[in-house]
Amino acid sequence: MHLPAATASSWVQRFAHLVPPGEVLDLACGSGRHARLFAGLGHPVLAVDRDPQSLAAAAGPGIVTLQHDLEAEGAAWPFEPGRFAGIVVTNYLHRPLLNQLMASLAPNGVLIYETFALGNELFGKPSNPAFLLHPGELLEHAAAGGLRVLAFEDGAVVQPKPARVQRLCAAGQGVVQTEVKLDHLSGAE
């Protein structure tokens, strides 16, 4: 799902307002489209990627970049539990990181995750099952991480390109359910 640098995922845009004040982690940030979105909303952002060229594109006001290859042999998860008010991950899956990633979310934090799922091989790359989520897999990881699911989708999309994806927005147990407004775009109360 390659988008122009300035265009954030519609899924991330939809739920960005739920992230409470505090630091946001943009994991595998690429050119920084989501880092810029959250920095624009007033969050300090830590944009992490292994590619220095991507990080150079992601850098900007309110954004600290960190070059780190989380998949390198012997690489450890570098972030402490409960650090981030928000974590955003798109178009990236490395299953060994998921437990630590979710543990790094603050008790009142929000995780926004969107990546490819089995069936995407019909549309193109990625097609390797190692990089495709199994049916309901994000839900299982959220439950194992003690997160409350706010929204979930699993299916085919046509924008920004035809693909099979899973999308999740989940919150830590410190988020009061009545504070979560999912219909903010429609103007409904």
Nearest by Cα to 134 from 91, 101, 171, 93 = 93
The answer, as to whether pTM is greater than 0.85, is yes
Q: What phi, psi does 106 have (nearest 5°)?
A: -65, 155
CA–CA gap between residue 8 and residue 38 (Å, rounded): 10
Could you tell me if residue 187 is inside a domain?
no
pLDDT (tens digit per residue) in 44-94: 999 999 999 999 999 999 999 999 998 988 888 999 999 999 999 999 999
Rg (CA), the chain: 16
Decide if 68 is inside a domain: yes
Q: Which residues contact 147 (CB under 8 A, 6 or more apart)?
A: 102, 105, 111, 170, 171, 172, 173
- For residue 24, give its domain range: 10-179
Domain-located, residue 133: yes
**β-sheet bridge partners, residue 65:** 47
Specify the CATH number for the domain of residue 91: 3.40.50.150
Q: For residue 39, what are its two tokens?
A: 């920095």
